[in-house]
């Protein structure tokens, strides 16, 4: 197999997402195809439901009727997924599956990307984009989940905290 596995979207009967994911995982395990189908994921979100009895945290499917699968597309992997009970089709034109782009995968938050920053908390950084372009500040907090950084900038003689995206700041040359 050449290249890396890609994420594909499979359409399922509504309400069968977890069953389909479990069945595909079991088929991969039974047939020893871990190198073909690497991951099966049903995107979920945690929502607070408020009712007469109070509020509670509930897990809810982000995309009902869809399952994400990271796999190397071969005839064998396609056959296993396509012939799983509850799967109606791959998402794509006709019968040709289309892989998700890296940007789409990152936006879905399915895969944890390792981010390396050239600065840390307490370091001085220069803002390189946005309305504060050119300002210099000190990093107070780094949030990898939202890919944002809180920086304290001195404006008009006052210390002002601002929240920026990773790409909007750069480490100062030492």
Any idea where the domains of the chain sit in the sequence? 6-108, 124-171
Strands 87-90 and 6-12: antiparallel
Question: In CATH, which superfamily holds the domain spanning 6-108?
Answer: NusG, N-terminal domain (3.30.70.940)
Mean pLDDT over residues 69-80, rounded? Answer: 91
CA–CA gap between residue 60 and residue 23 (Å, rounded): 20
The interaxial angle of helices 17-31 and 75-82, nearest 10 deg, is 140
More confident residue, 86 or 2: 86
Residue pLDDT, tens place only, 78-135: 999 999 999 999 988 877 889 988 888 877 766 665 667 888 889 999 999 888 899 9
The whole-number pLDDT of residue 55 equals 84
This prediction has a pTM of: 0.64
124-171 CATH pick, 2.30.30.30, 2.160.10.10, 3.40.50.300, 3.40.50.150: 2.30.30.30
């Amino acid at each position: 197999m050449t290249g890396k596995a890609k994420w594909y979207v499979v359409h399922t009967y509504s309400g069968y997402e977890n069953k389909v994911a479990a069945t595909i995982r079991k088929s991969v395990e039974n047939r020893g195809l871990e190198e073909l189908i690497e991951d099966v994921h049903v995107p979920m979100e945690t929502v607070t439901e408020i009712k007469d009895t109070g509020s509670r945290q509930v897990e809810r499917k982000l995309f009902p009727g869809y399952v994400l699968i990271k796999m190397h597309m071969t005839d064998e992997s396609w056959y296993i997924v396509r012939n799983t009970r509850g799967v109606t089709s791959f998402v794509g034109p006709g019968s040709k599956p289309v892989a998700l782009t890296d940007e789409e995968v990152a936006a879905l938050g399915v895969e944890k990307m390792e981010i390396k920053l050239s600065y840390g908390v307490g370091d001085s950084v220069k803002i390189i984009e946005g309305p504060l372009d050119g300002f210099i500040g000190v990093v107070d907090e780094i949030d990898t989940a939202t890919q944002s950084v809180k920086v304290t900038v001195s404006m008009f003689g006052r210390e002002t905290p601002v929240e920026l995206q990773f790409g909007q700041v750069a480490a100062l040359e030492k």
